[in-house]
Amino acid sequence: MLRLITPSLRVESVLELGLDRLGAMDLDALLLDVDCTLKNYLADEVTPEVAAWLGQLRSGGVGLCLVSNGAGGRIRSFAEKLDLPFVAKACKPFPFGTRAAVRKMGFVPARTAIVGDQLFADVMAGRLAGIRSILVRPIHPEEEPWFTRLKRPLERCLLHRMESDDGTAR
């Protein structure tokens, strides 16, 4: 069971995923969660630092696609501001939206990772879709809807257990 929710990598922020690090991991495509991964849940835009990071990845040839469980109109508006393709209503943790994004973009699954802030959505969707997953610390999780905040204590407990078991998660 833990294998389904164990990320390939844990980082504090997407900003740690520079071109060199992605290259060392043989990754050339990222599926990006939106809320609490790229931006605060209540924000309409990313910070200037995240915008610059996206620009660096894009100019470095990294394929990018947003993959969110969010409503189509809200995610479409956000994606248009960033000029990024997207899959909304992805139904994570099920792998359907994740696989659809990989197909839509022509990404090679072995060279693609999903980046998100939730074990039971992003990491599990990546595992079930057969791609790597990168877990980031959530940005202002106190702004999330109640049903997401409800899962956070269990996630923290499981992450602590993963750290104790093999020391790979931080």
Residues 60 and 23 sit within 8 Å (Cβ to Cβ): no
In this prediction, residue 1 carries a pLDDT of: 61
The predicted-structure confidence for 68-116, as pLDDT tens digits, reads as follows 998 888 999 999 999 999 999 999 999 999 999 999 999 999 999 999 9
The predicted-structure confidence for 104-137, as pLDDT tens digits, reads as follows 999 999 999 999 999 999 999 999 999 999 999 9
Residues 164 and 2 sit within 8 Å (Cβ to Cβ): no
In this prediction, residue 5 carries a pLDDT of: 87
In this prediction, residue 67 carries a pLDDT of: 98
Residues 22 and 62 sit within 8 Å (Cβ to Cβ): yes
Q: Decide yes or no: CATH 3.40.50.1000 for domain 2-166.
A: yes
What percent of the chain has a predicted confidence (pLDDT) above 70? Answer: 91
Question: What contacts 80, CB < 8 A, 6 or more positions away?
Answer: none
Q: Which pTM does this prediction carry?
A: 0.87
How many residues appear in the chain? Answer: 170
